Each structure stands twice: as C-alpha cells, then as structure tokens.
Structure 1
Amino acid sequence: MMADKATILVVDDTKQNIDILLGLLDGYDLLVALDGDSAIEIAQQEPIDLILLDIIMPGMDGIEVCKQLKSHEETKHIPVIFITAKTDEETIELAYDSGGLDFVTKPFKPKELLARIKTQLKLQALIKHLDNLSSFDQMTGIYNRRKFFELAEQQFAQAAENLCAMMIDIDKFKPINDNYGHPTGDRVIKAVAKTIKELLPQGAVVGRLGGEEFAVILTATWQEACQLIEKMRIDVAELALKSDDDCAINVTISGGLVKSNESYRSLDHLLKAADDALYEAKGTGRNKAVLRS
C-alpha cells in the first residue's frame, strides 16, 4: 500500500535545522524549501507524501503555508507535521486549525520524530488504499459505478457543449461464462475494459456499471466520438483471447452513443438515451454501435 521510499518535503529557513533533518531522514527521498512560497510551489509540482514544516519563517509563516496547502485541491491531501520551538497553547491550536496533523517541538527526539513520520505515512497509505477500494472496480481498475456517476455528474454540470455519452456491453457474455467458466469470463471483462480505457482521450470518464456493462462520458466532437466508439468495436473484435483449455474466444461489443443537447436535463436522462441506443444495437445484430446525435 505504501511506496518503498516516501518523499518528504522539509520546510525550514535555517540551514542547521535542515542539515539535522536530512541526516536523520536518509531513508526517504527528500526535498527542501527555505521559505513558504517555495514550499507551496514544490508541493504543487512534485508528488509529496509528507511535509515537515517550521512555523517561524520570514515572510509567510508555517501556519499560513499550511492553510494555503489545504486550500488547493492538488495539495490538500498531503499530511503536515509542524516542527517548531514555539510551544504555547495558542500556537499549537493554530497549527492544528490550519490543517496540521501533528506537532513536534524543538529540540525534538530523533526516534520520536521518526515514529511520528512513520505513523502518518502508514495512515496516508491506508487512506489511499480505502479510497482505491471505494472508487475503482477491483477487477478492471477502471472506476466503479459509484465513482463513475460522481465524476460524470461533474462533467455533465460543467460541459457547455460536445458532451457525449456511451453505453457499451459485451455481446453474448453469459454463454462465454457458461461455456468457458467464470475465470475466462473475468479475463474477457478485463481485456475489454483495458481496450476501452486505452482508447479514451484525457479527461474522459469510464466506469464499469456492473457485469459486462460499461459507460463513458467524454467531451469530443460528434465525429470524434463516432470514430472512437467504432474503433473500440473493431479493437475488441480483434482481441486474441483464449479459454483455459486453449479455445479461441470471439468477443464483440455493442454500443450506444448519444450527444448531449439542451433537451437532456440530467445525466440520468442522457445515459438512458445512450442505453436505449445500446439496446437497439443489441437487438439488430450486435457487434455494432447505434449513434444518436
């Protein structure tokens, strides 16, 4: 759940303090900032696992740095441990109120600091793991139903134009499971999900809604979306999949594609239209996509 070597950002304006921390933390990948502005810039640009933050610094103090980090989407998740010589109750309260998760006073005890760092890293790893379980389909690695609808709702609310919805279903999946077994069926689902995901442009949202059904929300021109769903259909049909007993398995998909317009007042309405198009595709021969602009 946790990388072998976590990256820690050390923020302190005193070289002596930095040297002590660098020597103590040689088991981690370390980055250094000498002031608050630099700390925020580094945290926004680099994958940081934890920040050790001094409070008393010229310009922006550590409390304000922490507040700004917690106000930005890309940095608000980074745990902050304050390290400071200030021990009054007001400072401690401000530190925690700003979003800090721990508070270590100078001069610190090396073993205690290391223990606190390890605790925070373990907690963050656990949080990431739980978020993964709650957001991603564990078989395919794409978004699960809950997370798909959460992100798709955001896309629907923000998109002014060129929003398209796809519903995709693996053709005759039940016979695949019945004839070749569930392990083979699982491999088919994984392969189809991988094919769909790899073809999608940046910013598109794809999820497994359940069983052999997938949904996609993306911003694209109608021509781009039509070409994309056809490319998905072709690439899936060309998958070279085999059962456990080495039998070739022919896999195809059917799809429904709809372009949003002012008549679609909700995401559910849009996806229902895409699902109706999918139903038509499956009812008129399968291995095809029905397009409704």
Structure 2
Amino acid sequence: MVELRKVIVFIFVSFLFVYMIWINFSVLNKFGHKKLLSALMISGLGLISIGTFFDVISSLSGMKFRNLIQICFTAGAIIFVTYIILWSNHIAKILANLNQHAHTDAMTGVYNRIGFERELMKKSSRKKESFYVMVLDLDKTKEINDNFGHLNGDRYIISAAKIIKDEMGKIGFVGRTGGDEFIAFLENVNEYDIEKIKHSIKIRVSNIFLKENKNMNISIGYSKYEKDGQDYDELLRIADERMYEDKKKRKNIIRNLQ
C-alpha cells in the first residue's frame, strides 16, 4: 500500500513536471517568460521528480537512497518556491504594464478617456474642496495634416500634450479624449492660477510651428466643482461650452481684423 502511494505521487509529480515544461515553451514564453525562471522551474520540479523516483525505487527494491532523496526534495522545494516568488513578481509587473497601456494614450503618453475618468473618480471621491475640470481643443489640426502631412499633425498633437502636461505639473493631470481634444483635472489652485495656466498653454501652443512661421491656436474652457456643477458630466458640459465660447470669440476677433 505504501509503495502504491509513492508510485501515485511519482506519477503525479512526473505529469506535473512534463505539463509545466509544455506550458513553459508553448504558452509562457509568449508572455516574456525569462530564461532564469524557466531554469528554476525545470530544476525545482526536476529534482522533486527525481526524489520521488528514487523514493519508489527504494521502497520496491529495499535499496537505501535516503540522503539522495532528502537532498532532491529539499533542494527541489527551495528552487521551486524561489521560482514561484519570482514568477509572481513577473506576473505582477506584466499586469501593471497591461493596466498602464489600457489607461494611457499610445501617441501622447497622457491618460486616455478611461484612464482620466478613473483618476478623476479616485481624486474626487477623496476630496472635499473644490477642483477644476479643463477642456482643451487644438485648432487647425486638419490644416496642418493637409499642408504639412500627418507626421507633422502627430507632432502637433504630441507637442501640445507635453505642454499641457507640463503646465499641470503636480497640481493636476491630463487625458486625451479625441484626435485633438484634451481634458485636465486641477486641484489646489484658484481662478487666478487657472487663468495663468490657460494663458501659458495658449502662448506655448501658438509657438509649436514657429520655425514654419505658422501661428497655432488652442481653445480652452474650464469649470469649478460645486460652483458650476456637482458631478463630472455637468462639469464637463460647462467646461466644453466655455471652450467653444473661447473658440468662437477668437474667430470673431480674427474676422474683425480681416
């Protein structure tokens, strides 16, 4: 009966060993499974398999392999536990990376809409004081694409995103919600600070194509929590309306100058 139990254990461990090798080379390598992890997994389970094999031989033949069996089990267990720890850390990094990609705009490196709204909900749920939501829309994007090519159009969007992110600094964060549309969250500021940031963004964006002698524009509107609305949708709607008012105002100025 004892021998049968040991045979069953040996078969199970051997099956697990073969299965893990198959998983390693057919599946895990596609997810960046490192060679060190593969070596640890194979070594650990291999030693445990060898230990169970000699345990069966010892029971069936009466030959004594006690020291060898103990060494195989102990070393195998230590190596395999080390593998499990390192593999868990590796998986955690992969998941963190996937999470980052899921919430980040690939072109600009700022949040995408999902990432921005997630961060906003986290911030607003913890905060009692007021904050601002800012909507920004780049002008002349189609003109840049048509006259200078899509690479320069992408450069325009990427440069603008960097400017907006720089201006937010530690007081907020920014997300890209469309082709040339952005949204920002700002805290620990007053309306005077907001106007300074708004003005600075406009100046810096206008100079993106300075070498090409092309003056660019960005329309900006913002809303304040509690004063303008109690929830995100209301704040976004008001900020969006004010952004279009800003765009319309500038177009009227240009029209009057012509």
Band of TM-score, shorter chain: 0.5 to 0.7
Correspondence 1:230 to 2:199: yes
1:233-252 matches, within 5 Å, as 233-240=202-209, 247=212, 249-252=214-217
Select the structure that is richer in helix.
2
Which aligned pairs between 1:255-274 and structure 2 lie closer than 5 A? 255-262=220-227, 264-274=229-239
Instruction: Tell me what 1:198 maps to.
Output: 166
Give the drift of 1:232: 1.1
Q: Is the 8 A contact 1:204 1:217 kept in 2?
A: yes
1:277 and 2:246 matched: no
The alpha-carbon distance between structure 1 residues 160 and 113, as it changes in their structure 2 partners (threshold 3 A), is: closer
Could you tell me which of 153, 157, 168 is aligned with 1:189? 157
- Distance across 1 between alignment mates of 2:76 and 2:177: 51
Alpha-carbon separation, structure 1, partners of 2:126 and 2:92: 30
Distance (whole Å) between structure 1 residues aligned to residue 204 and residue 228 of structure 2:
33
Would you tell me which structure has more strand in proportion to its own residues? 1
- Residue 212 of structure 1 is aligned with which of 150, 158, 180? 180
Matches within 5 A, 1:17-166: 109-166=77-134
Shift of 1:196: 0.7
Q: Return the index of the structure with the highest Cα Rg.
A: 2
Kindly indicate whether the alpha-carbon contact (under 8 Å) linking 2:113 and 2:177 is maintained by their aligned counterparts in 1.
yes
Tell me by how many angstroms 1:143 deviates. Answer: 0.7
Q: Which residue of 1 aligns with 2:16?
A: none
Cα deviation code 1:133-156 (max 9, x no counterpart): 111111111111011112223333
The one of the two structures with greater contact order (alpha-carbon pairs below 8 A, sep at least 6) is: 2
Q: Percent identity?
A: 31
Q: Any conservation in 2 of the 1:162–1:221 contact (CA below 8 Å)?
A: no
Structure 1 position 240, deviation (Å): 4.6
Are 1:254 and 1:282, in contact at CA under 8 Å, matched by a contact in 2? Answer: yes
Q: 1:190 to 1:117 in 2, by over 3 A?
A: same
Task: Decide whether the 8 Å contact of 2:103 with 2:112 is kept in 1.
Answer: yes
Residues 197-240 of structure 1, C-alpha deviation per residue, up to 9 Å, x if partnerless? Answer: 01114241211011100011111111111111111111222235
Alpha-carbon distance between aligned partners in 2 of 1:200 and 1:263, rounded to the nearest angstrom:
21
CA distance in 2, matches of 1:166, 1:263: 12
Aligned pairs for 1:169-188 (under 5 A) are 169-188=137-156
The count of residues paired between Structure 1 and Structure 2 equals 180
- Amino acid across the alignment from 1:280: E
Provide the rounded CA distance (Å) in 2 between the counterparts of 1:190 and 1:158.
31
Divergent runs of 4+, >6 A: none
Determine the C-alpha separation between the residues in 1 that align with 2:242 and 2:111.
22
Q: Deviations over 1:34-60 (max 9, x none)?
A: xxxxxxxxxxxxxxxxxxxxxxxxxxx
Segments of structure 1 that go 5 or more residues without pairing to the other structure are 1-104, 289-293
